Amino acid sequence: MADEKLEDTLVSMFCRRVAEDGDKPALHVKRGQKFEALTWNTIADDVRRTAAALVKLGVKPGDRVIQISENRYEWIVLDLAIHYARGISVAVHSTLTGPQIAYQINDSGAKLIAISGPDQARKLAGVAGQLPADLRYISFDACGEKIGSHAVTRLAEVQAQVSQSEGKAIEKLALESGRPTDLATILYTSGTTGDPKGVMLSHRNLTCNSHSVMESFKLEPGDLRLNWLPLSHIFARTSDYYIWIAGGGELGLAQSRETIIADCQALHPTYLNGVPYFFDKIYRYLHDQGLADTPGALQGMLGGRLKLCCGGGAALPDHVAEFFDRNGVVLVQGYGLTESSPVISTGTLEEYRLGTVGKPIHGVEVKIADDGEILTRGPHVMVGYWNLPQATAETIRDGWLHTGDLGRLEDGYLRITGRKKELIVTAGGKNIAPSYLEGLLTEDPLIAQAVVIGDAKNYLTALIVPDPDALRAEISRRQIALASPAEALSHPEVYAEYTERIRARLAGVSHGEQVRKFTLLSRGFTVESGELTPTLKVRRSIVLNNYAAEIRAMYGE
């Protein structure tokens, strides 16, 4: 990485992109019935005016500004405008509940709250008594809801009161006064265990990581990246949004998780990031439709131009990666965490190996501790946890970030073998990585999700979520007579089928890693239930609490 890139801020990186590519198409946004392409110059004009609006609302350097919104054009504009005003962006997952959002508002000491519209306002209205009285609220959409005694001002109304010249003056000041070491964002961890912690990332953390990722890929004219993962999470924030600014090219904003395939067919992306669950759903869908071996079916489903898909956030099953590769779409894994901005390693078109998360990117050091934990050092490592110096000191030691993940290096490729904090220690003292076993189980087409249990127990059990379409097809094929759909989960023949499939999937693991008992669940784990994080990682503590009765029954308690 060139030395000048180490001196970048998000503002300087964006301004350089605008200067180089101003009139080129940059961002595709769905408006009405079709996608509209916006240029870099158009985006820059909107960012300057929004920055002037923030300053008019009283935002000062170092102030925390919270944004609670689904992905949309205004999200990107506001995020950049916060950096122009030298504020600190605190992006909150739009799916969180009112109390969860209130925690982040209070913990961060935010001064201004930006929401997408009435739905988010109603959440905050329900917790208004827990919020500071001097907060100010703005909204992208018209919002008649009140939050306590506060009205919500539409952002466009404030934008109309400021000028482009004011925005340009703010831009100039940000370029002159902003420093790479300045705090850019606080991102709260998804909280698979305990309260979320605010991860502090500097401008240098984010720009260096973005530039390093871009060095791993060859950008060509016409390349387009489709974003659908939440921009409030660091994976999409860096790997879709900031690297788009760092490297140029075009970015498409999917309308929602439900429209990804339609948006792929409308925009024909060349790059697509996602979580393994998404790629597994595509794999299952094509199998269920009898199209798994049809040449061009996968590529056609995803728009016809894909060069590379990248999975992150959880382990990618090998059989899904093999399926994509066999059908002409390279699907690699990347690895990182919020505390590392996030990318530590990634597979690329030229260098990828099944079952690994690629090689460390430029400027990132990785080593394996004596106990197998992955450690990393470099400009990507966070500043620390907001207001938690002890937790920071425990996580960053001698400059090395302790990831909490277990792994090994093989010819330079990093392989994840488990999660240190999620290791099951059985009553017999055996250490077991549940994520590895869960990955094996969900390779079976009848199993959509699985959570393996057994800490301090004599044997392992599992909560199994059947794939409903695959199970219906299997019941029909075997002509199993059911009085009702609900009966399927307790029918002896269905249970026997799952018993055999679990045994087959775990045939290659040790005696202590066998699942002795399991329960078939009537619904899947979801974000809405709190059982999954916004990036679809399982919150084990919540799952174990929600299904405590079923778990006790499997252990005869």
Q: Which of 204, 225, 246 is the last residue of a domain?
A: 204
What band does 193 get if pLDDT is binned at 50, 70 and 90?
very low
Is 250 a domain residue? no
Expressed as residue numbers, the domain containing 65 is 3-19+40-204
Answer whether residue 192 shows pLDDT above 50.
Answer: no
We report the CATH number of the domain holding residue 118 as 3.40.50.980
Answer whether residue 194 shows pLDDT above 60.
Answer: no
**CA pair distance 56, 185, nearest whole angstrom:** 21
pTM: 0.84
Answer whether residue 4 shows pLDDT above 70.
Answer: no
Asked if the peptide bond before residue 342 counts as cis, ω within 30 degrees of 0, the response is yes
Is 548 a domain residue? yes
Is 163 a domain residue? yes
Q: Compute and round to an integer the Cα radius of gyration of the chain.
A: 24
Token couple for 368: 């394996």
Q: Which of 149, 174, 204 is the last residue of a domain?
A: 204
Token couple for 395: 């996580």
Is 541 a domain residue? yes
**Cα dist. 77→120, 281, 421 in Å?**
19, 32, 37
Residue type, 360: P
Q: Which of 332, 328, 283, 285 is nearest to 304 (CA)?
A: 328
What pLDDT does residue 432 have?
84
Tell me the mean pLDDT in the region 229-248: 96
Is 89 a domain residue? yes
Q: Which of 300, 265, 276, 333 is nearest to 252 (CA)?
A: 265
**CA pair distance 430, 5, nearest whole angstrom:** 47
We report the CATH number of the domain holding residue 470 as 3.30.300.30
Let me know the angle formed at the C-alpha of 135 by 131 and 139, rounded to the nearest 5 degrees.
105
What pLDDT does residue 2 have?
54
Tell me the mean pLDDT in the region 12-33: 97
The DSSP call for residue 237 is I
Which residues touch 178 (CB under 8 Å, ≥6 apart)?
9, 11, 12, 83, 86, 203
Residue with tokens 């300053």: 55
What pLDDT does residue 485 have?
79
Is 542 a domain residue? yes
The answer to whether 12 and 246 have CB atoms below 8 angstroms apart is no
Is 523 a domain residue? yes
Number of domains in the chain: 2
Residue 54 CB neighbour total at 10 angstroms = 26
What pLDDT does residue 58 have?
98
Cβ neighbourhood burial of 240 (10 Å; 0-12, 13-18, 19+): buried
**CA pair distance 268, 226, nearest whole angstrom:** 9
Answer whether residue 314 shows pLDDT above 80.
Answer: no
DSSP strand pairing (88-92 vs 308-311): unpaired
Is 116 a domain residue? yes
Q: Which of 185, 204, 223 is the last residue of a domain?
A: 204
Answer whether residue 421 shows pLDDT above 80.
Answer: no
For the chain, the average pLDDT equals 93
What pLDDT does residue 268 have?
98
Residue type, 403: T
**Cα dist. 262→117, 277, 284, 389 in Å?**
25, 18, 18, 46
What band does 536 get if pLDDT is binned at 50, 70 and 90?
confident
What pLDDT does residue 348 have?
96
